[in-house]
């Protein structure tokens, strides 16, 4: 009886690539957390800081949607960031019910440290990949993200139709 030549590197094994991708994501998060230690931020807070910086100000709901998490999770993180002095909440001028989150001066300063930590973590993570391999990896990850987003959007639409 012939032995199967399939190994963990064989993409034909159900879930092998997804399992490997999840493992890499877990390791990358841990690696990034180590680089963030001197900033005082918890893992994941750097994403909120970067997102707010890129948009000047955002509502908690906008942040949650952009990061693909539930609003209560973001609310808790924003409260921590506010306690640390990195963000502030302000009510809208036209509609006082809308609360926007923006970076404080300390938040802009921590952003510089976050960017430096991110560069160091990424350099370490990608050190054995050529520029061409890094470009291909970015392209492949973008395709995977688009595939997942399309599926999530379809599932949300189906759920919304069921709820109506």
| Tokens found for residue 93 | 């001028």
Q: Is the pLDDT of residue 22 over 70?
A: yes
The pLDDT assigned to 8 comes to 52
What residue ranges do the domains of the chain occupy? 19-128, 131-164
The pLDDT assigned to 2 comes to 47
| Tokens found for residue 148 | 């997942």
Judged by phi (left if over 0) then psi (alpha if -120 to 50, else beta), residue 68 lies in: left
- Better-predicted residue by pLDDT, 160 or 35: 35
The pLDDT assigned to 158 comes to 76
pLDDT tens for each residue of 87-97: 999 987 777 78
The CATH fold assigned to 19-128 is Arc Repressor Mutant, subunit A (1.10.10)
pLDDT tens for each residue of 78-116: 999 999 999 999 987 777 788 899 999 999 999 999 999
Got the DSSP string for 106-147? HHHHHHHHHHHHHHHHHHHHHTTS-HHHHHHHHHHHHHHHHH
Rounded to whole angstroms, the Cα distance separating 20 from 30 reads 15
> Could you tell me which residues come within 8 angstroms of residue 98 by beta carbon, excluding any fewer than 6 positions away?
59, 91, 92
């Amino acid at each position: 009886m012939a032995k199967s030549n399939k190994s963990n590197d064989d993409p034909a094994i159900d879930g092998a690539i997804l399992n490997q991708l999840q493992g890499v994501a877990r390791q990358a998060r841990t690696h990034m957390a180590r680089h963030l230690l001197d900033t005082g931020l918890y893992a994941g807070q750097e994403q909120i800081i970067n997102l707010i910086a890129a948009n000047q100000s955002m509502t908690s709901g906008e942040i949650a949607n952009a990061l693909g998490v539930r609003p209560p999770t973001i609310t808790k993180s924003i409260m921590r960031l506010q306690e640390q002095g990195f963000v502030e909440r302000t009510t809208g001028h036209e509609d006082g019910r809308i609360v926007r989150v923006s970076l404080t001066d300390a938040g802009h300063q921590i952003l510089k440290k976050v960017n430096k930590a991110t560069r160091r973590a990424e350099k370490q993570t990608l050190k054995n990949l050529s520029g061409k391999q890094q470009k291909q990896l970015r392209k492949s990850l973008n395709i995977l993200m688009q595939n997942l987003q399309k599926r999530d959007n379809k599932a949300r639409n189906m759920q919304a139709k069921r709820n109506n």
